[in-house]
Amino acid sequence: MNPSALDTPSLDRAVMELRESAGSWSATPLTRRIALLERLLPRVASGSAELAAVGARAKGYAPHSPWAAEDWSGGPWALAQNAAAYLHVLRRIAGGEEPVDPRAVCEEDGRTKVGVFPAAGWDRLLLNGFTGQVWMCPGITAEQVRDRAAGEYRGRPGRPAVALVLGAGNVAAITALDVLHKLYVEGQVVIAKLNPVNTYLRPHFERVFAEFVARGWVRFVDGGAAEGGYLARHEVIDAIHVTGSDQTHDAIVWGTDEDAEQRRRDDQPLVTKPFSSELGGVSPCIVAPGPWSDADFRFQAEHIVTGKTNNSGHNCIASQVLVCRVTGTVPSGCWARSGGCCASCLRAPITTPAPPGAWPPFSPPTRRRRPTATAARFSSPTSPTTTTS
């Protein structure tokens, strides 16, 4: 990396402005933080159509295309829903309640589990019948979960700090959600560096976060790997979060020179700051035994295939593997029909029209590739005992 080729003065200026303002964010009382979020939501709503439209155009289809529904759900809706979720918890704390409803925390089979969805009436209305839990690591008790929740607002605030968010995701809301997390969960001010693939989002984010920008708590900058590397190693940056690829993570942590592999083997990272990463995953959808009908399979298959093909498959949280009993000796009873879900999934993509590539100009259209890839992913037999999504 050649720092002289970068606009380092503007990056340094942005980082120093954040450092000077970090203390004022840490000192901002809960009631004011709530008010800031309450005023953020109308800005999300008023710019929602424009945000969804620019996302659609960036991916190569018109704002009125059926595929633009993804840009509404992955852009303004996701951002508004996330901000509303923070408000739900912060208002509980402001009202003297625990951040996590004690009734939602339980210990079962040696693990502490927290029911996190549904959390409010809108959740039950929009996704009726769906539930979500967070399972704690073994050894974490229910009492510890309740005591440690929302420490930033319950006498355990973090020190003033500057966080770097490297936002390379092409799902519009992701970078904004990472910024909110750093601000409201970790208590850090943020410089968010947008990747060249999503720089079109910058003016929209600056509008949504206008009050935070005006007070020196958030800065948005553009750039590629050189800018990201410079900021990651900047002495004023205290913590880093990246949404992107494992190659990006490894380049920052281990470097790209001839000594990178040796550093990895020796566990000698170039960056020792707190570093969180969202690099994607291979999430399973497990079909558990049950008295499922053909209609049940068709209904769930549509959900599974929609998740797999969302954003042309460029989705870190999509179910990438369907686990069900489809070959071998099938026991009698509920397991005997579990393969029906796999068959329904393999049929569903045939009638699903393909959108353009999700990372223009880097991805070709996926019309002919997706059904084949889906079939390959959805045909691995095993014997599951639980369901996840």
SS3 of residue 233 by DSSP: coil
At position 313, the amino acid (one-letter code) is: G
How far apart are alpha carbons 259 and 188 in whole angstroms? 33
Give the pLDDT band of residue 158 (cuts 50, 70, 90): confident
Q: What was the pLDDT predicted at 293?
A: 83
How far apart are alpha carbons 163 and 185 in whole angstroms? 12
146: left (phi over 0), alpha (psi -120 to 50) or beta: alpha
Q: What was the pLDDT predicted at 338?
A: 59
Confirm if 317 and 281 have CB atoms less than 8 A apart: yes
> What does pTM read for this prediction?
0.84
Confirm if 186 and 215 have CB atoms less than 8 A apart: no
How far apart are alpha carbons 360 and 382 in whole angstroms? 37
SS3 of residue 318 by DSSP: coil
pLDDT, averaged across the chain: 83
User: Mean per-residue pLDDT for 303-329?
Assistant: 74
Give the pLDDT band of residue 200 (cuts 50, 70, 90): very high
Q: What was the pLDDT predicted at 361?
A: 44
Sign of the torsion formed by the C-alpha atoms of 187, 193, 197 and 202: positive
Per residue in 213-267, pLDDT tens? 999 999 999 998 889 999 999 999 999 999 887 888 898 899 989 999 999 999 9
Helix 78-94 to helix 173-180 angle (10° resolution) is: 20
What is the helix (H) or strand (E) element at residue 16, kind and residue range?
A: helix 8-26
Q: What was the pLDDT predicted at 310?
A: 78
Neighbours of 330 (CB within 10 A): 14
At position 368, the amino acid (one-letter code) is: R
User: Where is pLDDT greater, at 269 or 371?
Assistant: 269
**The two structure tokens encoding residue 309:** 């093909």
Percent of the chain with pLDDT over 70: 82
**Would you say residue 330 has pLDDT above 90?**
no
Report the chain's C-alpha Rg in angstroms.
23
Task: Please give the DSSP secondary-structure letter assigned to residue 358.
Answer: S
Per residue in 42-99, pLDDT tens? 999 999 999 999 999 988 889 998 889 989 999 999 999 999 999 999 999 999 999 9
Q: Where are the beta strands (DSSP E) in the chain?
A: 105-108, 111-117, 132-135, 162-167, 189-194, 218-222, 239-243, 275-278, 283-286, 319-323
Q: Annotate 345-384 with b (16+ C-beta within 10 A) or e (fewer).
A: bbebbeebebbbbbbeeebeebeeebbeebeebbbeeeeb
Task: Please give the DSSP secondary-structure letter assigned to residue 73.
Answer: I
Q: Which residues contact 144 (CB under 8 A, 6 or more apart)?
A: 112
How far apart are alpha carbons 21 and 163 in whole angstroms? 12
**Would you say residue 1 has pLDDT above 50?**
no
SS3 of residue 118 by DSSP: coil
At position 74, the amino acid (one-letter code) is: G
